[in-house]
Each structure stands twice: as C-alpha cells, then as structure tokens.
Amino acid sequence: MRLSRLPLNTLKEVPADAEVVSHQLMLRAGLIRKLAAGLFTWMPLGLKVLRKVEAIVREEMDRAGAFELLMPAVQPAELWRESGRWDVYGDLLLRIRDRHDREFCFGPTHEEVITDIARRELKSYRQLPVSYYQIQTKFRDEIRPRFGVMRAREFLMKDAYSFHLDQASLEATYQRMAEAYARIFTRLGLRFRAVEADSGEIGGARSQEFHVLAESGEDAIAWCEHDDFAANVELAPALPPPGPRPAPTAELTRVATPGARSIDEVSELLGVPPSRCLKTLLVQASDGGCVALVLRGDHELNPLKAERLPQVAAPLALATAEQVQAATGCEPGFLGPVGLQLPLIADHAAAAGADFVCGANEVDAHYTGFNWGRDAPEPETADLRNIVAGDPSPLGGGPVSIARGIEVGHIFQLGDKYSRALQATVLDRDGREVPMIMGCYGIGVSRIVAAAIEQNHDEQGIIWPEPMCPLEVMLVVLNPKKSESVTAAAERLYEDLSRAGIEVLMDDRDARPGVKFADADLVGLPHRLTLGQRGLDAGVVEYRERRSGAEEQVPIDAVVDFIRQRLERTA
C-alpha cells in the first residue's frame, strides 16, 4: 500500500470531543471517521486491523467446533414478543417499522433469532451439542455513546450460541469457549483477565467477562494475586470483618453539625475519619414504602447487591425527598439509625464497628458515640457494599487489588430461558420433548481495537501489538522527488518485501521527513524502515522498532531476511 495513493489525513491536534486516548489516536491516525453519535466509518487502515481481529476470532471459534452462520441484522418484533424482551429491553432497542407498518428492531443481540433457527432445525438429542456463531453488526441505542468505537451504537460483535440436552454438556462447551476466549486475547497480544460477572439482563446462571486491563476501563475488577479470585466489583462479595465487635467506649452524644451533610463534611467538621461515620440511605422498598440501608462512610453502596434483597425494590431507586421527609421528618444528609421507624439493613462492616458518628434525624445535627444494640436495635445485616482494595479475597488467599478493565468478551450459561419461551425442544433419549439448554458467548470485535490502543500507545501514537497491526512495515522514503535512484531502490525494496509476504505501507509522499516520521509513529506499525540518499550511497537502510525505539542499520540486500526474522521473533 502506498501513501502517495491512499488519502491518509492524520491530525496533529487532539480532537476536542475525544475523551480517551484510543478514540483520540484512532481519529488522529485516520483509522475511523465519525458519521453521527456512536456511528463510525472504518477507514482503510482501521478496517485492516478490524479484519485481523476478526480472523483470529474466527479461527478460534472454528477450532472450538462452532459453525459460522450469518443472521439478519433486522429482526421481527413478534420474536421479541415471544421471548418477552420486546417490552423489557427498553430504549437500547432501535425499533423500526416497514412499509406495511410491521414492527422490527435492529438486532442488539441474537438469542431470539438463533433460538428460532434451533427450534426449526434441531429435533433430536442426537444433533446436540451444537454451536453456531456469526460476526456481525449490532445496534444498541446506548444512552451515552462515547469513547469512539469502544461504546458505539453500531458495532461489530462475534456472537456464538450453543445448544445442549443437559447442563453437563453446556458446562463442557462453556469451558471450551472460555479456553477459546483466553486463546483469542493471548494471540492478539493483549493483557487481559477473565472474571466472574453479573449476567445482567441476558439472564441465566454462570457468566464470565473478559477484560482488557487499562486505566481508562469503565469496569472495576477485584482480584487476588495469591489465589484464583477475580470478579467484577459489581459482583465481588465483601466478607464480614472477622472477630467480635469492639465494646462501646463512648456515650451517645448529640452534636451540632450546621450545614454538614456529606460524609466528607461531617468527617472534617468532627475530625473523625469517614470509616468511623455511618451513612444512612433511604431507598424504595419492594412493598411500596422505604428501607434504610446503612453503610460505613468510606464504603460505597453496590446497587446490584442491594436490589437483590427481597425487601428492596429492583431496580434500585433512592427515596424521594418527600418520602424521606414523611418517613423521618428530616432531610437526607442527617439521617441515622437512632429512633428510625423503618426497616433497616446494615452492611456487615457498618454493623461490626463501635462508637460511630451518625445522623440524628434532625437537620444540622449528628450523634457521636453511636453503638448498635444500645442506641438502636441490633440491625439485620447483609453485603451491601463494593469490595475495596485490601479487603480479604473470598477465596481466602489474601487481600484483593482493584484494577480497571474494558469488557471485550462475555460468556453466559443461559439455561432454558429462551428455549422455553420459544418452545425450542428436542426429543431426548426416552422420546420425551424437552427444552434445549443454551449458552451464549459474545466478543466486542470493534471494541477490541480501541482496547488494544488503550493498552499500547505512547506520547507519539499507537504501538500495535503485531498480531493486529494494520500492516507490518512502514517504509519511509526520504525526499523521493529529489532522487530517482532513491525512488527506484524504494520500489525494489517494496516489491521484494511484498513478494516475501510482508505487509508494507510505503510512505512515498512528497512530504518533509519530519512529517513522515511523525505519521509513522502515530499510525504505529511495529517496524519502520527508512531509505534516503545517504543510506543508499552506503548500501544501508535504517531500521527502527516502534515499541522499543531501538534502531539499527541493515544492508539493503539483507532487509527482507532481517524483517522476516523480526516478524518471527515477535510472533
């Protein structure tokens, strides 16, 4: 590929609306262009990366024994009504009507369509297990499309679905898929972690997410370096503190705290660390009233854990100001357990301490020296909070660390949720009709490209992991217009490399060397060769490795072998 022919408009400035580095670099390097919110064109160099990711995903799915098919992107509403998701999927679903006024959606995922295929094609247990996959465009009308292709509305997903007679067979395939996923991310050259996950709205039993580790990740992952524990913070259990609760040492004392509502304000005013303060949150109860949830001031409420409690309404919603007033006669910011006439659930850590500061259920007042059992009844306790760094691993190996990650893959054991709803049954060994057991397995193919850049870049630009580089070698030709011999030598080199199966992007533009080097760094091909008059006279080409910056002179006639060796070494 020649830059004299490919219109590559690189940008020096950081685009104003791009918040994360991968989005900035993808725009600056001309890999993608935005059409509208969450809609992107993959430009030629970007598309090459996407295709390489796709190829590795496809190879590993084939190796795992799944069969590729391609389902329609547009799906009839009736199918979604059969599964019950037409009404619950909400605004993420892009709904459309055809000329006959029939309702459709643009598929955000394909459980319904594949289950329809399965109920038509699969009749007997002898046909099971079977797995299908596709690599296809999805549309989700995300509330906040952002970070470029990382959270787009239209994006490329690999989605696979497996069908089984029983749970044991599902577990075997699930395990095989987990291994295929680990191979995919390893082959792509990414640092990643597989974590136990919440199965979200797809529903079902076990589920694991695969995260590329990166500071900008939207997800927090708790993991322990001494045991196998790794889970999305959303789901990681926070254990009750060990040992008995310390005895009270202080009297319950009412103190004036004018204007101090937040834990930080109260903690600063009274000179008490947030871990010694209690926060009391009123949320909607499942019976229509309110429930008080009490946490330590330094801990954060985990909404998923809270809404799983039978007393709490799902999805979790805070009580309105009027409800708080009606239930406590007070404003949020000064609530506490003393004298509270409401059902109350305390987080394990909040229930395990003594001598707390808490709200006095009176504006501008708090208590110090609050103790459970003495100043308020012993509370019902539950795990209500997010795990934090330093908490013990639930597997007992030691303290957990928190890392940030980008979800690039997700595998679920669906069970019979869809097969029951759509009556996708087979005849079992005894000739009985039974619903099939299903698994589903997704990979964000386009998101992987952004995630890879988050993990692999420097001040100058992208540093592609070799397995997903758009092309392998950037051949920079210095001042081609000035010297016919340089142009001719560059052409020969380009031919030789290409014939050897090496992917070359030749910068034969009529541009200044500084511009070319800057673009080479920005676009980030793993290997750079520079050919100029001086080198040509000496019979050498300058080599530079993008990642390390290491440079060396290579005799022109040894360049093909040299690059070949480099590619093998890093492969």
Contact residues toward ligand ATP (CB under 6 A) are 109, 140, 142, 151-152, 155, 157, 200, 407-410, 442, 444, 446-447
Per-residue b or e along 443-472, where b marks 16 or more CB atoms closer than 10 Å to that residue's CB? bbbbbbbbbbbbbbbeeebbbbbbbbbbbb
408 binds, among Mg ion, ligand ATP, none (CB under 5 to 8 A by kind): ligand ATP
Cβ neighbour number for residue 285 with a 10 Å cutoff: 18
Q: What residues make contact with Mg ion under the rule CB under 5 A?
A: 410
Give exposure, 556-570, as e/b (b: 16+ Cβ within 10 Å): beebbebbeebbeee
Q: What is the DSSP string of 433-490?
A: EEEPEEEEEEEEHHHHHHHHHHHSEETTEE---GGG-SSSEEEEESSGGG-HHHHHHH
H or E segment and range at residue 425:
strand 425-427
Amino acid at 287: D
Q: Which is nearer to ligand ATP, 112 or 508 (CB)?
A: 112
CB of 140 to ligand ATP, least distance (A): 5
Structure tokens that stand for 19 in this block: 């918040």
Q: Are 435 and 422 in contact (CB under 8 A)?
A: no
Which residue, 406 or 486, has its beta carbon nearer to Mg ion?
Answer: 406
Between 128 and 160, whose beta carbon lies closer to ligand ATP? 160
447 binds, among Mg ion, ligand ATP, none (CB under 5 to 8 A by kind): ligand ATP
Provide the minimum distance between the beta carbon of 532 and ligand ATP in the complex, in angstroms, as a whole number: 42
Nearer to Mg ion, 334 or 441 (CB): 441
444 makes contact, choosing from Mg ion, ligand ATP, none, with CB < 5 to 8 Å by partner type, with ligand ATP
Question: Which lies closer to Mg ion via its Cβ, residue 211 or residue 410?
Answer: 410
Tokens of 158: 């690999």
Q: How far is CA 488 from CA 399, 476, 484, 491, 501, in A?
A: 63, 13, 6, 5, 20
Rounded to whole angstroms, what are the CA distances from 171 to 118, 129, 557?
19, 11, 55
Least gap, CB of 199 to Mg ion (angstroms): 8
* Residue 359 binding: pick among ligand ATP, Mg ion, none (C-beta 5-8 Å cut-off by kind): none
Nearest to 437, CA basis, from 424, 454, 451, 450: 424
**Residue among 555, 558, 562, 556 nearest 488 (CA):** 556
To ligand ATP, the closest distance from the beta carbon of 410 in angstroms equals: 3
Min. distance of Cβ 207 from Mg ion in angstroms?
Answer: 8
Among ligand ATP, Mg ion, none, partner that 385 touches (CB below 5 to 8 angstroms by kind): none
**Minimum CB distance to ligand ATP, residue 39 (Å):** 11
C-beta of 357 vs 449, nearer to ligand ATP: 449
**Between residues 142 and 298, which has the closer beta carbon with respect to ligand ATP?**
142
Nearest approach in angstroms of CB 109 to ligand ATP is 6
| Among Mg ion, ligand ATP, none, residue 60 binds (CB under 5-8 Å by kind) | none
User: Residue 432 corresponds to which tokens in the numbers above?
Assistant: 């009985």
Residue sitting closest to Mg ion (CB)? 410
